[in-house]
A and B are shown apart, each in its own frame.
Chain A
């Protein structure tokens, strides 16, 4: 008994982990509208998605938003990680702590505080407000990803470069950047996925002028379950999977 019981438990839990996602993917190819009978293989829900102009526009908006949010947070995050890694200064612990606080605090609190700020300052709800908000919740994750990579960085490398006569600029370009590049890419991909998947913060800080995909899915799900949502969910899932696998692959490959 002691041999098969742990395995049976493991199989059960892993099944439960995969069933919801598996069913979603399988039913996105179902020709029937029903949620439990199989009507044959079909791409009609994907077709109806791409024939819906508003949906396609929301998709492009989301991709553009995720791209820009990931880029901005990677640039700021990389600089921050470098500072936190290379220098000792007063308040460093406080900064580290703040990263944790921002990561752990409930999304909805961040969302309402940002909404109140945007309206107070007069930032129109749309692309700009979404970008600022998305950078805000992506940044701690990017900083931590890059820092984790830097902590394994051999400090004698930049020194050797300097001893060999390299200027700070040359050292950064030829030593530092190649070393942290994988971490930057991984951080960027993580930021991209976080931004692409966000619903809660976006619900608060988006305006009618800039529709994004997760919010469309969310409103579709709330009204009722439509088969198009299966297709959309599958697309989003495949996209996140590809992005994150890419980032994992980059990280593990560079470690060797």
Chain B
């Protein structure tokens, strides 16, 4: 194949994709950025300005919701890591043969259900007239129906549940490649469980830990269904504010600015996390 024919077929192959990425990803995002710098002076005149961004920092409701969402997302990520690590360890290091594959698959299957279906499953369990409430009453631990939905704990349960798989998979992948001799050397040198975990296992698994944490954090911060369905009207999740501005108030300028802020701030947090853990994105995401 000569060079020019090669170029031609490359362009033919890539054109649909380039069209897609320019028209449906780049242009909309730039347009969103543009709208976010607009200020509505009257019903039909627009001016340029930073008012929407100022609103975010001056109106405490906005940034407080963002901080709350960010802190809850970090907590969710950490909790997911704590829950997922032993499972990944078991699958990667302790399980053998068929059991290993089966355990991994069993971890995967619930996530083939959509987020809506999964969240709805939890709602059936946790609501006032749900299964857990009736069990508590049958056991005599509660006098009447207990409402376990519509609070922060319910939201975190839902979010951890949704994130679990995305933490288990990268952890299993890195732990799978760890040499058993490393762990044994750690014990031979007089380490106990804790020091071996801290000095040998965690440093080895760091790329997996960081990549799992990034994915879970981004998923959690950007999630919409779970906080709204399990947290109720007052869950005050940042994505809800974007929805409110865009759809309920029809205030696109503010909604667009909040969207841009969500992108920028979440990338910033991920970047900080990478710096703090001494990992690079390329290494972590392979």
| Contact surface of A with B, Cβ cutoff 8 Å | 6, 9-10, 13-14, 16-21, 23-24, 27, 34-37, 75-77, 79-80, 82-83, 86-87, 89, 95, 98, 100, 102, 104-110, 112-117, 120, 132-133, 135-136, 139, 143, 168, 193, 196-200, 204, 214, 217-218, 221-222, 225, 229-230, 233, 236-237, 240-241, 244
Contact = CB atoms under 8 A, between A and B. Distances in A.
A106 B115 contact: no
B221 A230 contact: no
Contacts of B243: 108
A214 B114 contact: yes
B100 to A, nearest CB: 12
Contacts of A132: 24
A139 to B, nearest CB: 6
Contacts of B256: 112, 116
B17 A83 contact: yes
12 contacts: A23-B121, A76-B16, A79-B14, A83-B10, A95-B21, A116-B32, A116-B252, A143-B17, A168-B1, A193-B112, A214-B114, A240-B114
Given A108-B242, A108-B259, A214-B116, A13 B87 contact: yes
A219 B17 CA distance: 34
A225 to B, nearest CB: 6
B130 A36 contact: yes
Q: For the complex, would chain A's binding face be called helix, strand, loop or mixed by DSSP majority?
A: helix
Nearest to B122: A20
A200 B124 contact: no
Given A106-B222, A204-B247, A225 B124 contact: yes
B147 to A, nearest CB: 13
The 7 closest A-B pairs by CB, nearest first: A106-B222, A20-B121, A197-B114, A113-B28, A83-B13, A36-B134, A80-B17
Contacts of B27: 117
A106 B218 CA distance: 7
Interface in B195-247: 214-215, 218, 221-222, 224-225, 228-229, 239, 242-243, 246-247
Given A139-B20, A222-B229, A237-B113, A114 B123 contact: no
A24 B20 contact: no
B53 interface: no
B161 A87 contact: no
A95 B285 CA distance: 15
Interface stretch (B60-68, B102-110, B174-182): B102-110
Given A14-B106, A23-B121, A116-B32, A217 B116 contact: yes
A109 B113 contact: no
A108 B224 contact: yes
B94 interface: yes
B214 to A, nearest CB: 8
B43 to A, nearest CB: 17
A112 B242 contact: yes
A209 B42 CA distance: 32
Nearest to A107: B222
A37 B266 CA distance: 44
Interface of B: 1, 6, 9-10, 12-14, 16-17, 20-21, 24-25, 27-29, 31-32, 35, 83, 86-87, 90, 94, 103, 106-107, 109-110, 112-118, 120-125, 127, 129-131, 133-134, 161, 164, 214-215, 218, 221-222, 224-225, 228-229, 239, 242-243, 246-247, 252, 255-256, 259, 262-263, 266, 285
Given A35-B127, A36-B133, A204 B6 contact: no
Contacts of B121: 19-21, 23-24, 233
A197 B215 CA distance: 20
Given A36-B134, A106-B262, A116-B28, 8 more contacts: A24-B120, A37-B134, A98-B21, A112-B32, A116-B35, A197-B117, A236-B114, A237-B113
B13 A114 contact: no
Contacts of A98: 21, 25
B6 to A, nearest CB: 7
Contacts of B10: 83, 86-87, 89
Contacts of B127: 35, 225
A21 B16 CA distance: 39
Nearest to B21: A98
A109 B29 CA distance: 8
A106 B116 contact: no
A79 B129 contact: no
A109 B116 contact: no
Nearest to A162: B1
B129 A36 contact: yes
B172 to A, nearest CB: 13
B118 A21 contact: yes
Contact of B115 (A82, A86, A133, A199): A199
Contact of A17 (B107, B120, B242): B107
A205 to B, nearest CB: 11
Contacts of B252: 116
A22 to B, nearest CB: 8
Contact of A241 (B28, B87, B109): B109
